[in-house]
Amino acid sequence: MFPFVVNYFTIQAGIQRSVLDILEQPYESAQDIADVLRGMLKKYEIDIEKLTSIGADNTNVNFGRHHSVYSLIKLDVLNLFKGKNLLLKTIFF
């Protein structure tokens, strides 16, 4: 199971946190997870270029040096930071 949580900031409400979805995903390769993440952002009309960080556990599939979820998403978002929470995505509007 993959929980997709978004943290974002607005002037009116400050820092907000929402659970977008919880997805059952039988395939756990870095490419499969990155594809699901991209699809989830598209589904909720969130621009991937506004992504500032992702967070997950520290397994190699998520944050390894070569062919990890982080390295694959970093191809789309050059200034991406590593977070420390479960697929934490911070987006500023």
Q: What is the mean pLDDT of the chain?
A: 81
pLDDT tier at 84, thresholds 50, 70, 90: low
Beta bridge partners of 88: 5
Distance CA 80, CA 6 (A): 15
The beta-strand segments (E) located in 11-48 are 14-23
Distance CA 86, CA 59 (A): 12
Beta bridge partners of 16: 8
pTM summary value = 0.75
More confident residue, 71 or 88: 71
Mean pLDDT of 22-42: 87
Q: Are strands 14-23 and 2-10 parallel, antiparallel or unpaired?
A: antiparallel
Contact 18, 40 (CB under 8 A): no
